[in-house]
Amino acid sequence: MCIAQDLKIACVKIDEDLIRKNRLCWGERDNSKYKCGGEINDLKTINEVIIILIEVLYRLLRWRVWIP
């Protein structure tokens, strides 16, 4: 995965394990902001979220959304 326009500078592979190290939680609304409500322990939900996050990252790169 390349996260910069210059491929020599920022080419990395999306590492699923790195994404899994992050804490996933249920969102709760606090007035007009969202905050972490409680940690997600359901493996099925975690796996679905990881797959979606990886797909989002690949699409952002493919569509080059950072280019004005």
State the Cα–Cα distance between residues 7 and 25, nearest whole angstrom: 34
Contacts of 40 (CB under 8 A, 6+ apart): 24, 25, 26, 46, 49
φ, ψ of residue 9 in degrees (nearest 5): -85, -45
Q: How confident is the model at residue 9 (pLDDT cuts 50, 70, 90)?
A: very low
Q: How confident is the model at residue 65 (pLDDT cuts 50, 70, 90)?
A: low
The pLDDT score that the predictor gives to residue 8 is 47
Would you give the DSSP letter of residue 42?
-
Q: Is pLDDT at 21 greater than 50 in this prediction?
A: yes
What is the mean pLDDT of the segment spanning 63-68? 66
